[in-house]
Every structure is written in structure tokens, then in C-alpha cells.
């Protein structure tokens, strides 16, 4: 699994850099996105359908690499409620 930590959620979406996304596709691995104490996992077979590209290119502050952002809908994992499956 390729793990990414994000700092912001904007309009219900999280953004990752396109080279991280391409790395997950190339290695055929799922993508794990963490924000604070919450996380979500996008399985490899859903990576191609879950993305939205941004039109703008960005310049890295640390090297001369340019990248685009890829947005995913933020749906953090939640523990299932043990009482939900039973009639009370």
C-alpha cells in the first residue's frame, strides 16, 4: 500500500500529487490516505474511477519537479456499530 498524509480537506475532497498516484498504479497497490487520526483506503481496482484531475500545474518548492493534483472524495473509514446488525 502506498501511504500519503494530507493536511487539508477542501469541499469534501483530498488532493494528492499525481506522481504518487502514478506510483500506486505502476506498482498495482492500493492507496492509503491519512488526515489527522482518520484514514481511508482506495483499493487498486478503484483507483482509475475515483480520481479527478486539476487543470493547474504546480512547482515543487524543494526541486524543479512539476506536478498536478488529483482529488478524491473524502470517505474516512468508520468502525461498524456492533449494535446495528441486531434487533434490540
pLDDT digits (tens, 9 = 90+) for 2-40: 999 999 999 999 999 999 999 999 999 999 999 999 999
pLDDT digits (tens, 9 = 90+) for 26-35: 999 999 999 9
Domain boundaries in the chain? 2-73
Cα gap 61→54, rounded to integer Å? 19
Cα gap 46→30, rounded to integer Å? 9
Write down the pTM of the prediction.
Answer: 0.79
2-73 topology per CATH: Ribosomal Protein L25; Chain P (2.40.240)
Amino acid at each position: 500500500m502506498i501511504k500519503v498524509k494530507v493536511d487539508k480537506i477542501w469541499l469534501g475532497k483530498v488532493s494528492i500529487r499525481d506522481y504518487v498516484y502514478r506510483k500506486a498504479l505502476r506498482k498495482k497497490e492500493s492507496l492509503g490516505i491519512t488526515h489527522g487520526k482518520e484514514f481511508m483506503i482506495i483499493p487498486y481496482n478503484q483507483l482509475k474511477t475515483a480520481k479527478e484531475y486539476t487543470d493547474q500545474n504546480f512547482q515543487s518548492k524543494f526541486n524543479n519537479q512539476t506536478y498536478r493534483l488529483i482529488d478524491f472524495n473524502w470517505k474516512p473509514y468508520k468502525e461498524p456499530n456492533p449494535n446495528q446488525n441486531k434487533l434490540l
